[in-house]
């Protein structure tokens, strides 16, 4: 900093040194608010990313809910599901305006009559049999003799009329004149209607019976625990899927928050550098206040995202996730959970930073796009090495496993699944400390480069 005496002081002039005393913070926030008054920055920096981030979280919560529902299926949930489907089905609601079962099927055997000319024409037998687009036609050679019982049973409750004819053509035509049946669907509505067969009550009854058999068989085993040699603790298999989904959700929120943070930095710097304003602005405002403003913008963006995403995630997952799974995901105590959370935040932040910095520094290199995948590749290699060690017993395998989990980037995957496989609080702590240290080192060692290439960003 050009200190109060006007002399350059290398101890305080560091490019990325910020003094977060209140006065500086207030000034930075005020400046950030001035920037946000620029419409382009408001939309590109706050509004759209926030919208996208929240959209991703909402979709993710929806998918997680569906997946959890699927994994938690048993005979009683299946029975409940099919009962619900009889009372209300969204497909029937779309087709008929009400979701309940339709009245009994009317079977209409078409007849031939003499037309105005010499030809004979096929007509419905009564006025109630006038065809509708949502009816089903069975095209057969002899409508008078064909037995439609199986088809009546299949479409019962979803279709109002079943036509036996040679040539009538509603949107669903089942051609039985050839060697094998062939169905033609000529509208989207017909497609929806045919899919209603999946919720047939008889099918449901058979499904429930099968599930009951499976439930009885599983009840003989009770809860399953995986206790492979090398595991520090037993892994409750019955909680595996919900815990993994919970972990994925937490990690996804962290990744999106980091993405928003990194993008906020890059966006502001790019926007200022592209228009040539960066250097005059940084010079006139001061590095501390300018970068402070970028941090403030980042905080605003990430804070708004977390405020929108976390309550939604908790509310939407509360219905599906049992407390047992939450307890497993949170670990033995809140301190362990906090260390784990810090470790994955630091790990993912470091991986993102390494990819981003390498990408920026070598952006004119032919293979520059590959740099961003280096941390990902290292992370996958680490995961394989860690998983491979479980094939072996003994102290060496345990040591390799612990070293892999404790190493920054290489250990991201083992640390992510730490609530399940419990590598030990010390290993998570070492991973967190090493990664945080490397993160700080990476920031400091690249600060000079960034300062020198501000206008090139």
- CB 1 → other proteins: shortest distance, Å? 7
- CB 310 → other proteins: shortest distance, Å? 34
Q: By CB under 8 A, name the one of 124, 125, 236, 286 that touches other proteins.
A: 286
Task: Decide whether 40 or 180 has the Cβ nearer to other proteins.
Answer: 40
Q: By CB under 8 A, name the one of 92, 161, 287, 301 that touches other proteins.
A: 287
Which helix (H) or strand (E) is 403 found in, with range? helix 395-406
Task: Decide whether 35 or 350 has the Cβ nearer to other proteins.
Answer: 35
Regarding 42 and contact with other proteins (CB under 8 A), the answer is no
- Decide: 183 and 194 in contact? Cβ < 8 Å: yes
- CB 303 → other proteins: shortest distance, Å? 23
Nearest of 124, 95, 97 to residue 111 by alpha carbon: 124
Regarding 449 and contact with other proteins (CB under 8 A), the answer is yes
Q: By CB under 8 A, name the one of 19, 20, 38, 132 that touches other proteins.
A: 38
Distance from CA of residue 112 to its chain's centroid?
57
Spatial distance between the Cα atoms of 335 and 394, rounded to a whole number of angstroms: 30
Measured in degrees and rounded to the nearest 5, phi and psi for residue 115 equal: -85, -170
Span from 184-192, 226-234, 280-288, 375-383 in contact with other proteins (CB under 8 A) = 280-288
Task: Decide whether 118 or 284 has the Cβ nearer to other proteins.
Answer: 284
- Using CB under 8 A as the binding rule, the residues of this chain from 368 to 407 that contact other proteins are none
Regarding 442 and contact with other proteins (CB under 8 A), the answer is no
- CB 41 → other proteins: shortest distance, Å? 9
Place of tokens 């599983």: 218
H-helix segments, 72-196: 75-87, 90-96, 149-155, 188-195
Task: Decide whether 248 or 457 has the Cβ nearer to other proteins.
Answer: 457
Q: By CB under 8 A, name the one of 22, 23, 39, 103 that touches other proteins.
A: 39
Number of residues interacting with other proteins: please give it, by CB under 8 A.
38
Task: Decide whether 123 or 454 has the Cβ nearer to other proteins.
Answer: 454
Dihedral angle sign, alpha carbons of residues 287, 289, 290, 292: positive
Regarding 26 and contact with other proteins (CB under 8 A), the answer is no
Site track for other proteins across 232-271, x = CB under 8 A: ---------------------------------------x
Q: By CB under 8 A, name the one of 141, 145, 221, 284 that touches other proteins.
A: 284
Nearest of 325, 315, 252 to residue 72 by alpha carbon: 325
Helix then strand then coil, % of the chain, to nearest 5: 65, 10, 25
Regarding 274 and contact with other proteins (CB under 8 A), the answer is yes
Task: Decide whether 42 or 369 has the Cβ nearer to other proteins.
Answer: 42
Regarding 13 and contact with other proteins (CB under 8 A), the answer is yes
- Using CB under 8 A as the binding rule, the residues of this chain from 45 to 84 that contact other proteins are none
- CB 266 → other proteins: shortest distance, Å? 17
Spatial distance between the Cα atoms of 370 and 362, rounded to a whole number of angstroms: 10
Q: By CB under 8 A, name the one of 210, 234, 277, 426 that touches other proteins.
A: 277
Measured in degrees and rounded to the nearest 5, phi and psi for residue 17 equal: -90, 125
Q: Which letter does DSSP use for residue 212 in this model?
A: H
Q: Which residues are CB-contacts of 306 (< 8 A; sequence separation ≥ 6)? A: 253, 257
Q: By CB under 8 A, name the one of 92, 102, 109, 289 that touches other proteins.
A: 289
Regarding 112 and contact with other proteins (CB under 8 A), the answer is no
Spatial distance between the Cα atoms of 392 and 301, rounded to a whole number of angstroms: 46
Q: Which letter does DSSP use for residue 101 in this model?
A: P
- Decide: 201 and 82 in contact? Cβ < 8 Å: yes
Tokens representing 135?
Answer: 């009816």
Distances (CA, A) of 380 to 268, 340, 409, 411: 32, 19, 9, 9
- Rg of the chain over all Cα atoms, to the nearest angstrom: 32
Q: By CB under 8 A, name the one of 279, 314, 391, 441 that touches other proteins.
A: 279
Tokens representing 127?
Answer: 């006025």
- CB 30 → other proteins: shortest distance, Å? 9
Q: By CB under 8 A, name the one of 21, 40, 145, 319 that touches other proteins.
A: 40
Regarding 167 and contact with other proteins (CB under 8 A), the answer is no
Q: Residue 136 class from Cβ within 10 Å (0-12 exposed, 13-18 middle, 19+ buried)?
A: buried
Regarding 2 and contact with other proteins (CB under 8 A), the answer is yes
- CB 356 → other proteins: shortest distance, Å? 19
Span from 46-54, 73-81, 278-286, 376-384 in contact with other proteins (CB under 8 A) = 278-286
b/e 67-91 (16+ beta carbons within 10 angstroms → b): bbeeeeeebeebbeebeebeeebeb
Across-strand partners of 182? 175
The residues that touch other proteins, with contacts defined as CB under 8 A, are: 1-2, 4-8, 10, 13-15, 31, 34, 37-40, 271, 274-277, 279-287, 289, 448-449, 451-452, 454-455
């Amino acid at each position: 900093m050009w200190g109060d005496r006007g002399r350059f002081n290398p101890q305080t002039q560091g490019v990325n040194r910020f003094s977060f005393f209140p006065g500086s913070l207030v000034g930075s926030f005020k400046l950030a608010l001035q920037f946000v008054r620029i419409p382009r920055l408001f939309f590109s920096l706050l509004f759209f990313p926030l919208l996208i981030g929240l959209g991703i979280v909402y979709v993710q919560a929806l998918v997680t809910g569906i997946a959890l529902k699927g994994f938690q299926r048993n005979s009683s949930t299946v029975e409940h599901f099919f009962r619900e489907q009889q009372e209300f089905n969204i497909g029937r609601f779309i087709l008929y305006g009400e979701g309940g079962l339709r009245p009994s099927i009317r079977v209409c055997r078409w007849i031939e009559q003499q037309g105005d000319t010499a030809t004979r024409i096929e007509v419905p037998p009564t006025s109630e049999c006038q065809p509708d687009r949502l009816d089903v036609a069975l095209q057969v050679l002899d409508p008078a003799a064909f037995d439609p019982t199986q088809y009546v049973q299949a479409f019962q409750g979803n279709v109002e009329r079943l036509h036996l004819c040679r040539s009538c053509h509603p949107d669903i035509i089942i051609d039985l004149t050839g060697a094998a049946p062939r169905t033609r669907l000529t509208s989207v509505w017909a497609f929806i209607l045919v899919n209603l067969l999946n919720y047939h009550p008889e099918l449901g009854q058979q499904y429930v019976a099968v599930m009951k058999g499976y439930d009885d068989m599983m009840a003989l085993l009770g809860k399953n625990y995986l206790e492979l040699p090398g595991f520090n603790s037993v892994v409750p298999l019955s909680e595996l899927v919900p815990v993994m989904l919970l972990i994925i959700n937490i990690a996804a929120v962290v990744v999106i928050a980091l993405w928003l943070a990194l993008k906020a930095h890059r966006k502001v710097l790019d926007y200022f550098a592209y228009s040539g304003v960066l250097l005059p602005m940084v010079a006139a405002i001061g590095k501390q206040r300018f970068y402070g403003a970028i941090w403030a913008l980042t905080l605003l963006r990430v804070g708004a995202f977390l405020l929108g995403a976390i309550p939604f995630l908790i509310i939407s997952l509360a219905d599906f996730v049992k407390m047992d799974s939450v307890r497993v995901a949170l670990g033995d105590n809140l301190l362990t959970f906090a260390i784990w959370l810090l470790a994955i935040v630091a790990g993912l932040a470091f991986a993102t930073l390494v990819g981003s910095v390498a990408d920026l520094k070598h952006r004119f290199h032919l293979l520059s796009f590959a740099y961003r995948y280096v941390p990902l590749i290292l992370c996958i290699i680490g995961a394989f090495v860690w998983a491979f060690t479980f094939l072996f017993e003994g102290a060496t395998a345990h040591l390799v496993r612990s070293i892999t989990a404790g190493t920054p980037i290489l250990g991201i995957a083992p640390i992510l699944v730490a609530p399940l496989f419990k590598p030990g609080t010390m290993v998570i702590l070492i991973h967190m400390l090493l990664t945080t240290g490397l993160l700080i080192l990476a920031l400091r060692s690249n600060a000079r480069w960034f300062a020198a290439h501000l206008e090139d960003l």
